[in-house]
Amino acid sequence: MKRKVTKAIFPVAGLGTRFLPATKSVPKEIMTLVDRPLIQYAIDEARAAGIKEFIFVTSRGKSALEDYFDHSPVLEQELRKKGKTELLETLKATDMESGAIAYIRQHKALGLGHAVWCARRLIANEPFAVMLPDDVIAGEMPCLQEMVAAYEESGGNIVAAMEVPPEKTSSYGVLDIREDHGSMVRVGGMVEKPKAEEAPSNLAVIGRYILEPTVLRNLNKLKQGAGGEIQLTDAIAEDIASDVPVYGYRFRGQRFDCGSKAGFLQATVAFGLSRPELREELAGYLHEIIQTDKAAQ
Ligand code: G1P
């Protein structure tokens, strides 16, 4: 039976060590692309897909995230007094309906599967989405919205998928393709972070999932997988054997790996160029440094 997807889990407990020293005091999900934190992009995408309940799996040191989605009466009063209606409007993106957002602590860093499992009681017996805010996807239609539309047709578990260079498979969950139907792929198996020579394909899992509650039951076993962690990939793959289908969804948007510095910088440039008020100045600057670089060679 296919049901509506209204809940999403945002695993945000990671230490963000790749961005130290910044992440010593700033959660990486609060790091900004232009003027919006990574988490805002994920929340906007979730809302567009019809998500009504937002579950954050957090850890120590993430209180800035909770504050971000809270009302800030002093700031709002000040902006109102100064007649800054545009800025007040901008703040609306951070508004959350009372009770729509929940924070659960992951007490131990035992892996992505464990983080998702921490939210099991809030999900109960419904299909749900998982969004990894490190993966920022720009596209005409938000990625999760495309996936929800696909889910309404197919049911089952759906993971966002994208071809990666073979030497990069060791950074991703990788799909074993059973049937390839273009944008939808029926999956026959999944491997977490395989070496290039062991990867079943180069179709990698990107951080958007729509999952059946059976995956939470698989996670109950808390089995360790790759890197000694409890892997979400393994819990999804386990469904294949019990005939709950798993699909890979080749989304149309452009994905930025904001968990890496190079990806974060690329996203900053791309999102900067997509802003009409910044485009000309930024493009001019980029053009200039490329010319200078060429001349120097
Ligand atoms: C996680 C998942 C992996 C997936 C990736 C997408 O890995 O475990 O299967 O391909 O996200 O970004 P992580 O990047 O947290 O190591």
CATH of the domain at 151: 3.90.550.10
CA distances from 285 to 218, 269, 271, 292 (A): 51, 11, 15, 11
Distance 294 CA to ligand 1 centre (A): 36
pLDDT of residue 1: 55
**264, part of any domain:** no
If one residue of 116, 143, 172 were mutated to test the ligand 1 pocket, choosing by the most ligand atoms within 8 A of its CB, it would be: 172
* Ligand 1 atom closest to Cα of residue 134: 12
The residue count for the chain = 297
What does the DSSP assignment read for 118-140?
Answer: HTHHHHTTS-EEEE-TTEEEE-S
Whether pLDDT at 161 is above 90: yes
295, part of any domain: no
Which residues span the domain enclosing 155?
Answer: 7-259
- Give pLDDT tens digits for 43-102: 999 999 999 999 999 999 888 999 999 888 899 999 999 999 889 888 888 888 888 999
Residue pLDDT, tens place only, 103-147: 999 999 999 999 999 999 999 899 999 999 999 999 999 999 999
Contact call for residues 173 and 204 (beta carbons, < 8 A): yes
Residue 277 falls inside a structural domain = no
- pLDDT tens digit sequence for 254-276: 999 999 999 999 999 999 999 99
14 lies in some domain: yes
Taking the centre of ligand 1 as the mean of its atom positions, its distance from the CA of residue 154, in whole angstroms, is: 24
Instruction: Identify the three-state secondary structure at position 144.
Output: helix
Asked if residues 144 and 45 have their Cβ atoms less than 8 Å apart, the reply is: yes
* Within-domain flag for 221: yes
pTM (2 d.p.): 0.94
Q: pLDDT of 10-41, one tens digit each?
A: 999 988 899 999 999 999 999 999 999 999 99
Q: What is the total count of domains within the chain?
A: 1
Q: Which residues line ligand 1 (CB under 6 A)?
A: 112, 132, 135, 172-173, 192, 204-207, 232-233, 259
Please choose, from the candidates 280, 190, 150, the residue with its C-alpha nearest in 3D space to the C-alpha of residue 272.
280
Q: Residue 93: inside a domain, yes or no?
A: yes
Residue 198, classified by CB atoms within 10 Å of its CB into exposed (0-12), middle (13-18) or buried (19+), is exposed
Name the nearest CA neighbour of 55 among 3, 108, 113, 11. 11
Nearest residue to 242 via CA among 274, 208, 218, 269: 218
Cα 165 from Cα 187, distance rounded (Å) = 19
Q: Would you state the pLDDT for residue 3?
A: 82
Ligand 1 centroid to Cα of residue 24, in Å, is 22
236-250 per-position pLDDT tens digit: 999 999 889 999 999
pLDDT score of 297 more than 80? no
Here the tokens at position 87 are 């800025």
Span from the CA of 171 to the centroid of ligand 1 (angstroms): 7
Asked if residue 37 belongs to a domain, the reply is: yes
